Chain A
Amino acid sequence: MSEDRSRILNLLAEGKITAEEAERLLDALEARAGASTTTGESAIKGDPEPLIAALPKYLYVKVIAVNGDNVDVKIPIALVRSGLKLTSLIPSKAMDQINDSMSEHGMSVDFSNLKPEDIDELVGTLREMEINVDAKNGDNVRVYCA
């Protein structure tokens, strides 16, 4: 196994990247290896860090309201992932209370249905998400990853 490949797998094992991201990085490495083979170069010598660094690391939420209230939040994606993993471990009784409380506040999200295996996929998808809301009154909400 190449050094790059083992580093990517280590990052995956440590939970620093998702399975989907690891797959993308491995694909990129293979593509580079393929290119170097066709040009007669030796095996991969590159550092996967630039590839990893290119992945979005933060979730941004920006709200610009007409009345002058502006909110700008930058959340590490690792925090989102850890938070979701934590919710999958909360005892069912406590989770029912959380769900009820969220439902009372108009957020009908059932976290008890969130399985640990879905979290990596969810976070991977989140990195590609972009939400732009332009309200009639001029309020602007933007959610994206970068």
Chain B
Amino acid sequence: MPPMILDLKVASSTRRPVHLWLPLFLLWPLAAALGLVALAVAVVVDAVLLFVGRRYHHYTVLLMRSFAVISETRGMVIRFSNEKTAVDMTVQ
């Protein structure tokens, strides 16, 4: 499952705290459409590279693994804090 929500909290001693709830799931239909186009291009490129005998012809797999990496970001948490600022980012 791809990440659906990015929860970002920024607290600062000098500014008002910010709590952003970014609905990543709204981007997925667009990303899926672009991904499918890119995948189709990659398949053609790989087929051509394979046909001309190039050693590297793994763009399709590279693209699919890239999607897998993005999907696996779900559950990632990054927190940073110092005396003035605190940032909390959670991918859900």
Decide if A and B are genuine partners.
Answer: yes
Q: How far is the CB of A146 from chain B (nearest CB, A)?
A: 13
Specify which chain B residues have a CB less than 8 angstroms from the CB of A82 in the assembled complex.
65, 68-69, 71-72
What are 28 residue pairs bridging A and B, where the CB atoms are less than 8 Å apart in the complex? Answer: A58-B75, A68-B83, A69-B80, A69-B81, A70-B79, A70-B80, A70-B81, A70-B82, A71-B79, A71-B80, A72-B80, A73-B76, A73-B77, A73-B78, A73-B79, A74-B77, A75-B76, A76-B72, A76-B73, A76-B74, A76-B75, A78-B72, A79-B72, A79-B76, A81-B72, A85-B68, A86-B68, A89-B61
Query: At the interface, yes or no: A137 with Cβ under 8 Å from chain B?
Result: no
Size class of the B contact interface (CB-based, 8 Å)? 20 to 34
Measured CB to CB, the residues of B under 8 A from A are 56, 58, 61-62, 65-66, 68-69, 71-83
**CB of A97 within 8 Å of the partner chain:** no
Q: Which B-chain residue is minimally distant from A67 (CB atoms)?
A: B82
Given contacts A69-B82, A70-B82, contact A86 B76 (CB under 8 A): no
Pick the contact of A79: B62, B69, B81, B83 (CB < 8 A): B69
Docked Cα-Cα span, A76 to B75, in Å, equals 6
Per the CB 8 Å criterion, the residue count for chain A at the interface is 23
Are B80 and A92 neighbours in the complex by a CB distance under 8 Å?
Answer: no
A residues lining the B interface (CB < 8 Å)? 57-58, 67-76, 78-79, 81-83, 85-86, 89-92
